[in-house]
Amino acid sequence: MMNEIKYDVFISFKNTDKDNQPTLDSEIAQKIYKELEQRNIQAFFSNIRLFQFGEAAYKQAIEEALDQSKILIAIATSLDYLNSKWVSYERESFHEDILSSRKENAYIIPYIKNIDINALPRSLRGYETFSIDNNSIEEVVNFVIACLKKSNEYKEKKFEKSLTTGKRASTYDPSSKKELRRLKIQADNTRQADTPAIEYCLTNLPKKDKIYILDAGCAYGFVTKDRFSNIANSQVIAADISKKCLEYAKEHNDAENIVYEYLDLESETLESDIEEIMDKYGIDKFDIIFSSLVIHHLKNPNRFLRKIRKYLSKDGFIILRGSDDGSMVSTGDNGLIEKVIQMHLQADGISDRFNGRKLYGQLIASGYKNVKMMSCIKETSSLDIDEKEDIFLERFEYRKTYLQNALEKDPYNMDKKNALDAMCYALDMLENIFSEESFWYSEIDFVAVGKRV
Ligand X SMILES: C[S@@+](CC[C@H](N)C(=O)[O-])C[C@H]1O[C@@H](n2cnc3c(N)ncnc32)[C@H](O)[C@@H]1O
Cβ pair 426, 343 in contact under 8 A: yes
Give me Rg for the CA atoms of the chain: 28
Give the interface segment with ligand X, choosing from 25-33, 271-279, 292-300, 393-401 (CB under 6 A).
Answer: 292-300
Nearer of residues 217 and 450 to ligand X, judged by Cβ: 217
If one asks whether residue 264 binds ligand X (CB under 6 A), the answer comes out as yes
Interface residues for ligand X in 387-426 (CB under 6 A)?
none
Least separation in angstroms between residue 377's CB and ligand X is 18
If one asks whether residue 303 binds ligand X (CB under 6 A), the answer comes out as no
Choose, by CB under 6 A, the member of 66, 265, 305, 312 that binds ligand X: 265
Nearer of residues 64 and 266 to ligand X, judged by Cβ: 266
Nearer of residues 169 and 223 to ligand X, judged by Cβ: 223
Interface residues for ligand X in 161-200 (CB under 6 A)?
174, 183, 186-187
Least separation in angstroms between residue 328's CB and ligand X is 18
Burial status of residue 399 (CB atoms within 10 A of its CB: 0-12, 13-18, 19 or more): buried
If one asks whether residue 219 binds ligand X (CB under 6 A), the answer comes out as yes
Residue 163, CA distances (Å) to 4, 30, 175, 408 in order: 9, 22, 19, 11
Least separation in angstroms between residue 261's CB and ligand X is 10
Least separation in angstroms between residue 263's CB and ligand X is 6
If one asks whether residue 292 binds ligand X (CB under 6 A), the answer comes out as yes
Gap between the Cα atoms of 57 and 2, Å rounded: 9
Nearer of residues 263 and 419 to ligand X, judged by Cβ: 263
Gap between the Cα atoms of 379 and 329, Å rounded: 9
Give the interface segment with ligand X, choosing from 6-14, 77-85, 126-134, 259-267 (CB under 6 A).
Answer: 259-267
C-alpha angle 36-38-43 in degrees, rounded to nearest 5? 35
- Torsions phi, psi of 215, nearest 5? -105, 105
Question: Which residues, including other chains, have CB under 8 Å from residue 168's CB and lie 6 or more apart?
Answer: 160, 161, 408
Gap between the Cα atoms of 352 and 323, Å rounded: 9
Least separation in angstroms between residue 352's CB and ligand X is 12
Give the interface segment with ligand X, choosing from 16-24, 141-149, 196-204, 257-265 (CB under 6 A).
Answer: 257-265
Nearer of residues 242 and 362 to ligand X, judged by Cβ: 242
Burial status of residue 310 (CB atoms within 10 A of its CB: 0-12, 13-18, 19 or more): exposed
Nearer of residues 50 and 448 to ligand X, judged by Cβ: 448
Interface residues for ligand X in 223-242 (CB under 6 A)?
223, 240-242
Least separation in angstroms between residue 442's CB and ligand X is 20
- Residue of 361, 355, 324, 336 lying closest to 450 (CA atoms): 361
Question: Which residues, including other chains, have CB under 8 Å from residue 384's CB and lie 6 or more apart?
Answer: none
Question: Which residues, including other chains, have CB under 8 Å from residue 41's CB and lie 6 or more apart?
Answer: 8, 9, 141, 144, 145, 148, 154
3-state SS assignment for residue 334: coil
Interface residues for ligand X in 320-349 (CB under 6 A)?
none
Nearer of residues 266 and 315 to ligand X, judged by Cβ: 266
- What count of residues does the chain have? 453
Give residues in contact with ligand X (CB under 6 A): 174, 183, 186-187, 217-219, 222-223, 240-242, 245, 263-266, 292-294, 297-298
